């Protein structure tokens, strides 16, 4: 059977087209492209495309765009999507990792961990990071790229100076804030709907060598969030020993999951025992404020500003401050250590129906009461890190899905206007609600840059050449 016969809805001249040489129909390749890290959606494409350059991708998109029956195309980086966003049912998945290097800037297919290694060789580093670095540049820039440095430098999409993008018409366009800004700002955080990122110019600064990494424990949620707010808004004062942190995050630590979720090189066994006892005496849950301070610039070899004065201003439980000094690289790559441990246990590739929410400051204590101390209190599925062990059964997946749904229903019932990050919706009305007042602009940009709705069908926002909803 010809290539044309194997691709559903593809134009009849595909088998003779130049892109045909880079299409793969191998069952293993199809199977790999049909799954993502979330482990929830299985949606096989008809073929996987292995480009050698951005020009190959542009040719593929132009072919679809020019066809009376356009076929869906989805770029796949490291497959870290959670709901099939990098899949194209019956269409073509573009394996971005096959792109050759050679750009002065970062290729969209490159992993952030490799960007870090390369920039550190020159004593430099990007400013803003996600917690997990084994993700592609194009993938995180299509979603936002949120991490503990965002309060200082914004998400990763706020640190891009220029991009090369292949639109849904197959056009290769260089864009920036001043050059084709409508495309630039549409693609950044545009969930793959307007173009495929093949190159990004990312802002960098001088890199530190070391990190003072702190974790502070709280029994009261409001105490932790109040201290977080203090840390991200404070002004540095070297005279008093106060220094603004470079990274701030927070976690809920459930006592019943302490050993499985928090065993790492950071905490000693005695630390975990103490923390577990604190959680047990506090209704099974405590809160962890995580803050880091970079140092080791130039000839600086130690943590210059003293932090004791700062700690005196915070309300963590006395005796429950934990500190490590680690290299900058080790700190940024910290989640990978947990990944290796879970891979060794066969627990990395289990279903991960994540729920990521932005909750208004005014309602965060209500969220704590209803979710952390309500829905999640007796749940064995709570995990404070990106990946956590669970059973290999569909039943448990359904429970995880139900639990996520219960949290969303609680927010809706209580009038907590949260906003999902990496959202999953099946109805166009829900997507319109998600984007709010920017929805009409979103549809307008889709009509401009991908009028036949070829790109990233896994998001299920648009369907078909008329931009119809599912």
Residues labelled as active-site residues: 80, 131, 249
Could you tell me how many residues make up the chain? 470
CA distance 277 to 111: 40
DSSP at 237: B
Residue from 59, 72, 52, 66 nearest 9 by CA: 72
Residue from 156, 145, 286, 132 nearest 215 by CA: 286
User: Tokens 């700690």 belong to which residue?
Assistant: 311
What tokens appear for 92 in the block? 């073509």
DSSP assignment of 116-184 equals: HHHHHTTTEEES---S---SBHHHHHTT----TTHHHH--GGGGEEEEEEEETTS-EEEEESSSSHHHH
DSSP at 375: I
Reduced to 3 states (helix: H, G, I; strand: E, B; else coil), residue 240 is: coil
Convert 333-348 to b/e letters by CB count within 10 Å (16 or more is b).
bbeeebbeebeeeebb
User: Tokens 């007042």 belong to which residue?
Assistant: 437
**Residues in contact with 118: Cβ distance below 8 Å, sequence separation at least 6, in sequence order:** none
Residue from 397, 393, 406 nearest 352 by CA: 397
What tokens appear for 123 in the block? 């004593």
Burial group, residue 106, by CB count within 10 angstroms (0-12, 13-18, 19+): buried
Q: How many CB atoms lie within 10 A of CB 197?
A: 29
Which own/partner pairs from 366-371 qualify as long-range (CB within 8 Å, at least 24 positions apart)?
366/414, 366/416, 367/411, 367/416, 367/418, 368/221, 368/222, 370/410, 370/414, 371/407, 371/410
Sign of CA dihedral 39, 40, 41, 44: positive
Residue from 298, 321, 327, 294 nearest 308 by CA: 321
CA distance 311 to 151: 20
């Amino acid at each position: 059977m010809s290539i044309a016969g194997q691709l559903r809805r593809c134009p009849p001249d595909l088998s003779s087209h130049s892109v045909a040489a880079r299409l793969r129909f191998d069952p293993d390749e199809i199977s790999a492209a049909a799954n993502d890290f979330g482990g929830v959606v299985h949606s096989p494409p008809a073929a996987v495309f292995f480009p050698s350059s951005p020009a190959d991708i542009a040719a593929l998109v132009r072919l679809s765009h020019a066809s009376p029956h356009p076929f869906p195309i989805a770029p796949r980086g490291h497959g870290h999507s959670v709901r099939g966003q990098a899949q194209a049912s019956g269409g073509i998945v573009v394996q971005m990792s096959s792109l050759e290097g050679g750009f002065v800037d970062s290729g969209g297919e490159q992993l952030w961990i490799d960007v870090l290694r390369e920039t550190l060789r020159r004593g430099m580093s990007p400013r803003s990071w996600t917690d997990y670095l084994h993700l592609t540049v194009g993938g995180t820039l299509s979603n936002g790229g949120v991490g503990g440095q965002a309060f200082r430098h914004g998400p990763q999409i706020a640190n891009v100076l220029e991009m090369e993008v292949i639109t849904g018409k197959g056009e290769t366009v260089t864009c920036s804030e001043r050059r084709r800004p409508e495309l630039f700002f549409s693609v950044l955080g545009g969930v793959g709907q307007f173009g495929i990122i093949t190159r990004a110019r990312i802002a960098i600064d001088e890199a530190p060598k070391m990190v003072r990494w702190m974790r502070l424990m709280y029994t009261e949620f409001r105490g932790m969030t109040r201290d977080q707010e203090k840390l991200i808004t404070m002004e540095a004062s070297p005279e008093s020993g106060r220094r603004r942190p470079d990274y701030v995050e927070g976690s809920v630590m459930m006592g019943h999951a302490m050993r499985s979720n928090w065993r790492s090189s950071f905490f000693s066994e005695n630390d975990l025992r103490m923390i577990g006892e604190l959680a047990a005496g506090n209704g099974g849950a405590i809160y962890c404020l995580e803050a880091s301070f970079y140092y080791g610039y130039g000839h600086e070899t130690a943590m210059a500003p003293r932090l004791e004065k700062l700690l005196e201003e915070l309300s963590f439980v006395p005796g429950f401050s934990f500190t490590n000094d680690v290299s900058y690289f080790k700190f940024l790559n910290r989640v990978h250590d947990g990944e290796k441990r879970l891979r060794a246990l066969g627990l990395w590739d289990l279903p991960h129906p994540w729920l990521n929410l932005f909750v208004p400051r005014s309602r965060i204590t209500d969220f704590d009461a209803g979710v952390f101390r309500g829905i999640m209190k007796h749940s064995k599925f709570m995990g404070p890190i990106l990946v956590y062990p669970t059973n290999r059964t569909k039943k448990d997946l359904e429970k995880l899905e139900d639990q996520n749904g219960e949290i969303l229903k609680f927010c809706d019932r209580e009038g907590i206007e949260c906003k999902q990050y990496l959202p999953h919706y099946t109805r166009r009305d829900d997507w319109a609600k998600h984007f709010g007042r920017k929805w009409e602009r979103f549809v307008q940009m889709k009509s401009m840059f991908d009028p036949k709705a070829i790109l990233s069908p896994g998001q299920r926002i648009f369907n078909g050449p008329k931009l119809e909803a599912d």
